A and B are shown apart, each in its own frame.
Chain A
Amino acid sequence: MTAVDRYVGTKPAPVVSSPGATETASPAVPTPSAPSVAPPALVKLPTGQHDQARRRWVPRGAERFLGVVLLFVVWELAAQVGWLSPQTLAAPSKVVDVGWHMIEDGKLGPALWASFTRVLWGLGIGIPIATALALAAGLTRVGDDLIDRNVQMLRFVPVIGLQSVLILWLGIGETVKITLIVIGVAFPVYVNTYTAIRQINPGHLELARVVGLGKFAQIRKVILPGAMPGFLVGVRLATAIAWLILVFAEQINATNGLGYLIIQAQTFFLSDVIIVCLLVYAVLGLLTDTFVRALEKRVLRWQPGR
């Protein structure tokens, strides 16, 4: 008699069992000692269904865009019929037309480039600074005491509110715009990286000790890879925030860039130009986010489901 048999024998045998269960529980086991229990009413479960059998009249990828298409159709119709005045909100067709003209005139290209370089500078300076601070604070006690409290305090100062004081310090040139982005970018990267370092699986640190990793190897092989997902979350938040702050920063006395185009268009009541610029912002944001996602996919390929 095997352990499984005996185990089953001590339990009241199920009155009704599926065919599979009967096989494993060895049908030879008699159940004379089982108390007689009234059989429960059974329901028939649906079987033999295939998920793919649900017919799709459009592929799933296209289906996701249906809502977007619908929105644009309604928007266009509303403009054509005259519910929307061109001053309030230009029709999509008008926006495309204006956008095309702006590209042809050579207005959009340089503006886009100016904005894009500002964001790149902001991210390029902000991310390394924040990462260095997070590492110092996360890995050393001195760093933690000196840096973390200060950062956690400053975190609650609204970045946009720093505008005035930064203009006093840095003037109204490129520096102030990039500095605003750097500050805005630094906080999410710092907070996420620091938290990730602090939340490294203690079991992994214990393992590192057991296999005799030195301090440096421990950082390189356990702490940094372990903190990587948190860091990348910070970077993704940072790219979104960078564009957000850019829009604002470019409205400080800019002479180029998308924000400058928006301010100009606002002065002349050109809602179509404003919408073109906003759409360009959205597309740029989407592109940078896609880039970071691709990076995540590559760096975190050890995670299941990537």
Chain B
Amino acid sequence: MATRSVSDPFPAEALAVRARGVTRTFGDRTVLRGIDLDIRPGEFVALLGRSGSGKSTFLRALAALDTEVTGEIFVPEQRAVGFQDPRLLPWARVLDNVVLGLPGSDSSARGLQALAEVGLADHARDWPKTLSGGEAQRAALARALVREPALLLLDEPFGALDALTRIRMHRLVAELCARHHPAVLLVTHDVDEAVVLADRVLVLTDGVISLDRPIASTFPRPRLRSDPRFAELRSELLAELGVEDDGSLTADSVPDSVPEPELVLDPQESSS
């Protein structure tokens, strides 16, 4: 079971992430300027930012993939990371990818269960290169879930998917998070995705968190795009990102526009 070992240094308030003064410089360029962030257990946080804003750098710091970063970072022992590409090892079958590095004799049973949860039970014995883009990303999600993470770090995991597959993935991620309730940090540049999924939206601008907007209490789920609060929130976030939202959904203003989330699409349906 996921142990929230982060509670050790802060017994008073149990947190899933506690970051203080996180700073990262590459040469003479400072990408992160002393970021402070707390994420509560089970909280779904979306981190928005323009490309090059350092949002992925921050996620990599939390994933312990960047040890040159300075400041204090406390994260749970049980973490999982989802990358933009599925990063399945092509020479290992799908199930072996899911349970990669997973200890315990029951690992393959747990792996199969995780695959079933993402609707890939039939593909356990397949080679990753035979999967479609959406299936591969679901397998990667199963690989993350099977670790029962207390913190799930997602680095633009839907960025490379087509719009329809992306809606299915949004629903799947929302469902899975509701069931397993890990704390989530979702790095994305897609404002709509952030509004649909997150409890709280952060905007990273010039290396600092310029906006920290809890939306869970003011805008309960399901968040329909037709809801005026959706448009309002979207405008606010786009403005923070330096984009004028004139209401028309053009390819320029919203690079990764997603169709209405209320469209009924079965996530079990294969995206092949």
User: What string of 1s and 0s marks CB contacts (under 8 Å) between A209-229 and chain B?
Assistant: 111110001000110011010
Q: Is the CB of A210 within 8 A of B81?
A: yes
Give Cα A217–Cα B99 distance, bound, in whole angstroms. 13
Contacts of A4 in B (CB 8 A): 259
**A3-B249, A221-B100 known; A228-B91 Cβ under 8 A:** yes
Q: Which among B85, B91, B128 has the greatest number of chain A C-beta atoms within 10 A?
A: B91
Closest to A224 in B: B91
User: What string of 1s and 0s marks CB contacts (under 8 Å) between A51-70 and chain B?
Assistant: 00000000000000000000
Report if B129 contacts A (CB, 8 A): yes
CB distance from B147 to the nearest CB of A (A): 8
CB distance from A95 to the nearest CB of B (A): 45
Q: Is the CB of B259 within 8 A of A2?
A: yes
Stretch at the interface among A154-162, A200-208, A238-246, A248-256: A200-208
Stretch at the interface among B19-27, B32-40, B116-124, B250-258: B250-258
**A10-B250, A209-B65 known; A203-B259 Cβ under 8 A:** no
Report if A141 contacts B (CB, 8 A): no
User: In the complex, which residues 288-306 of chain A have their Cβ closer than 8 Å to any Cβ of chain B?
Assistant: 300-304
CB distance from A297 to the nearest CB of B (A): 14
Contacts of B249 in A (CB 8 A): 3, 6-7
Give Cα A210–Cα B62 distance, bound, in whole angstroms. 11
CB distance from A56 to the nearest CB of B (A): 30
Which of B63, B64, B83, B248 is in CB contact (< 8 Å) with A6? B248
Q: Is the CB of A302 within 8 A of B100?
A: no
Report if B143 contacts A (CB, 8 A): yes
User: What string of 1s and 0s marks CB contacts (under 8 Å) between B77-95 and chain A?
Assistant: 0011101010101111000
Report if B220 contacts A (CB, 8 A): no
Q: Is the CB of B129 within 8 A of A226?
A: no
Contacts of A304 in B (CB 8 A): 127, 129-130
Closest to B101 in A: A211
Report if B72 contacts A (CB, 8 A): no
User: In the complex, which residues 99-133 of chain B have their Cβ closer than 8 Å to any Cβ of chain A?
Assistant: 100-102, 127-130
Contacts of A206 in B (CB 8 A): 65, 83, 87
Give Cα A204–Cα B90 distance, bound, in whole angstroms. 10
Q: Is the CB of B89 within 8 A of A203?
A: no
Interface of A is mostly: helix
Which of A7, A203, A300 is in CB contact (< 8 Å) with B87? A203
User: In the complex, which residues 1-21 of chain A have their Cβ closer than 8 Å to any Cβ of chain B?
Assistant: 2-4, 6-7, 10
Contacts of B81 in A (CB 8 A): 210
Give Cα A75–Cα B129 distance, bound, in whole angstroms. 48
Q: Is the CB of B89 within 8 A of A211?
A: no
Give Cα A203–Cα B60 distance, bound, in whole angstroms. 13
**A3-B259, A6-B249, A7-B257 known; A208-B101 Cβ under 8 A:** yes
Q: Is the CB of B65 within 8 A of A210?
A: yes
**A203-B85, A210-B65 known; A303-B129 Cβ under 8 A:** yes
Give the interface size class of chain A.
20 to 34
Contacts of A2 in B (CB 8 A): 259-260
Closest to A218 in B: B101
Which of A6, A213, A300 is in CB contact (< 8 Å) with B101? A213
User: What string of 1s and 0s marks CB contacts (under 8 Å) between B216-260 and chain A?
Assistant: 000000000000000000000000000000001111000001111
Closest to B192 in A: A3
Give Cα A207–Cα B91 distance, bound, in whole angstroms. 14
Contacts of B102 in A (CB 8 A): 211
Give Cα A212–Cα B102 distance, bound, in whole angstroms. 8
Contacts of A211 in B (CB 8 A): 100-102, 143, 147
Give Cα A226–Cα B87 distance, bound, in whole angstroms. 13
Q: Is the CB of A210 within 8 A of B89?
A: no
User: What string of 1s and 0s marks CB contacts (under 8 Å) between B46-76 and chain A?
Assistant: 0000000000000000011100000000000
Contacts of B85 in A (CB 8 A): 203
CB distance from A230 to the nearest CB of B (A): 13
Q: Is the CB of A302 within 8 A of B101?
A: no
Give Cα A10–Cα B248 distance, bound, in whole angstroms. 9
**A6-B249, A10-B250 known; A302-B259 Cβ under 8 A:** no
The 5 A-B residue pairs with the shortest CB-CB distance in the complex, in nearest-first order: A211-B101, A225-B91, A3-B259, A302-B91, A302-B127
What residues make up the interface of A, taking CB atoms closer than 8 Å to B? 2-4, 6-7, 10, 203-204, 206-213, 217, 221-222, 225-226, 228, 300-304
Known: A2-B259, A206-B87, A211-B102. 19 other contacts (CB 8 A): A3-B259, A4-B259, A203-B85, A203-B87, A204-B89, A207-B83, A207-B89, A208-B100, A210-B63, A210-B65, A210-B79, A211-B147, A213-B100, A221-B100, A222-B89, A302-B90, A302-B91, A302-B92, A302-B128
What residues make up the interface of B, taking CB atoms closer than 8 Å to A? 63-65, 79-81, 83, 85, 87, 89-92, 100-102, 127-130, 143, 147, 248-251, 257-260
26 A-B residue pairings within 8 Å (CB atoms): A3-B259, A3-B260, A6-B248, A7-B251, A7-B257, A10-B250, A203-B87, A204-B87, A206-B83, A208-B101, A209-B65, A210-B65, A211-B100, A211-B101, A212-B101, A213-B100, A217-B101, A221-B89, A222-B89, A225-B89, A225-B92, A228-B91, A300-B91, A302-B90, A302-B91, A304-B127
